[in-house]
Structures are given as structure tokens and as C-alpha cells.
Amino acid sequence: MSFFGFGQSAELELVLSDAESRRRVEHKTEEGKKEKYFLFYDGETVSGRVVLTLKHLNKRLEHQGIKVEFIGQIELYYDRGNHHEFVSLVKDLARPGEFTQSQTFDFEFTHVEKPYESYTGQNVKLRYFLRATVSRRLNDVVKEMDIVVHTLSTYPELNSSIKMEVGIEDCLHIEFEYNKSKYHLKDVIVGKIYFLLVRIKIKHMEIDIIKRETTGTGPNVYHENDTIAKYEIMDGAPVRGESIPIRLFLAGYELTPTMRDINKKFSVRYYLNLVLIDEEERRYFKQQEVVLWRKGDIVRKSMSHQAAIASQRFEGTSSHTEAKTPSQPAENNGRQ
């Protein structure tokens, strides 16, 4: 290929201007591996440089222009040909011409809106990346660099507890209570289960955290349930009047914030699933949705000034919208 002049005669590299000081976080790849990426927040400026290195000295590189893009896109795995872009910014770095030596180009995308959290799931991927392109007549030279975005939120003080009664007539009647309906990702779920009537022989009880990923619309809707955690809260038969405490620490599990109707493409919701198993291996369960959110107070101390402003702006809108429906999940489940 190189002999005929079709091979790549140049290499591109993307370097962030604050690469040495910017925090890096682990994020799951499509293959299920964990890799470290630079972390950004909504409203932060993304700046750096594109380094163009010529592979062959004393050889010209003709091009039709050089550009750098900042892209946020959603890719549905069952529709891989279509990438749904919700952020697309372009900076032209050089007009058409030719190079005889390596070059460096600075770029800056100021106060970039990054409305959604980076996410890699079973059927969908939401990613942000920089892409530098040297346009050529036959084959472009392209370099991409992924980043990770975290969305920060605060919720109003009104965070109602969840209290429900469930059971089977004349056999089992229990009441369970969780201290809140919204939890941040490092929170602790505290609750109690009261046995009001026990006429079946229960041998085991557990609480599961279930992640439900919903992708697509209309007839092409896919639901994917993933059990994130199983937590045993009782082993042995309970008696009437007994109270079982629950204390479940979320920090040890791989969780994301709750995502609702992201760009009308997908949702990620979390449920607490209370499971009772009797001596004949019959299972009784009740699901209850809880809202998970990423707390920004600790992170903000190390964030730049512009990121702090952006997170406050996001929190302001978030608190207004969430304040309207603080107890909605509990009401919906109560009707089941």
C-alpha cells in the first residue's frame, strides 16, 4: 500500500492541555474490561493540541484540511450503523494545502454542554470523544480519544421513605420500610421488615439490587435486567411480630445514576427486590424502584471553577424537576 502511495504517511496524537492534573476514572468498555479515562463535567472547557507527525522526512503531505471535533453520541448495539449524536462541535485547524514537516495545532471547546453521563450497557453505549481528522483525497488520517463524563446532582431535603404492606391472604402479611426513596451512589439503604402474619414456613430472605436497562422505542423495545447485588437479610423461619433490620451499603457495587429517557433512546432504572423463599422453594417477591444519583459535594472541592459553576447550574434545574415528584416511585408500586 505504501509503495503505491496509499499508506498513511502521517500520525496524529491528541493531547489535553491539563492532562497532568486532570483526574482519571475507571470506566467499563464494550468488552467488559475496565480502563482509565480523563474525567469531565458538564460545562467544563475541553482544550488541548493536535500533534501531526510526518512519517517520512523530506516528503510532502497534501491534504484537504485538518479539523478536530468534540462528539457526544449514543450507539444502540442492535442498530450499529446509526450513531445518534447529541453533541457535535467542530474546529477547523488548517486550510487545504501541504506540509513538509510535523506540526502542532491548539484547540479549545469552551464551556461544553455535556448533558448525560457516560454509560456502557448491555445494549447501548453513550460516549464522548475527541476526533482529529486530516482530510485526504484517498484515505483520511483519523485519531480518536474517549473521555468520561459524570453528571452531578443534589436532591431536595424532601426525600420520603418507602413504606408498603404486601402478602398472601391468610398466609403471609409483611410490612417493609426503607428510609428514603432516593440514594446517592455511596449511600446506605436502611430499612426494616415487620412480620405481621406468618403461616408459611419461610427459610430464607434476601434483598436484591436490580438494574433494568430499556432501549429503543415502539415495537423495538428491549429490556435487560441485571442483578447487581444479592444481600441475605434472614436465614431461618421468622415468627409473628418479628422485625428484621436492613443495612445495605451501596459503595461496593458498580452502580450508575438513574437515567430516564436519555435523548429518547434508553433508560436505566434501579429496583430493590425483596425475595422470600419457603421450604418448598417457592419464591415470593416485591419490587420497589429507587432513584440513584451522583453526589457532587466532595468532588467539587477539586474541580476547576468553571466546572463548579456548571454543576451548580445543573443542580438548580435538577432540584426543580425532582421536587415535583418526590414520592412517585412509592405511589406507583403501591398500585401494583
> Hey, what domains does the chain have and what are their CATH numbers?
9-147 (2.60.40.640), 160-291 (2.60.40.640)
Spatial CA neighbour of 129 closest among 98, 164, 87, 157: 87
pTM: 0.80
pLDDT of residue 173: 86
Q: 299: Cβ–Cβ under 8 A, 6 or more apart, which residues?
A: 150, 152
Tell me the average confidence (pLDDT) per consecutive run of 10 residues in the chain, 336 residues long: 52 94 92 92 96 84 93 90 92 92 94 96 95 91 96 78 81 87 93 86 89 88 92 82 90 93 94 88 87 72 47 44 37 37
pLDDT of amino acid 7: 53
pLDDT at residue 220, rounded to an integer: 79
Angle at 335 between CA 271 and CA 234, to 5 degrees: 45
Residue with cell 428510609: 179
Give 255's DSSP letter: -
Q: And the C-alpha cell for 244?
A: 428484621
pLDDT at 197: 83
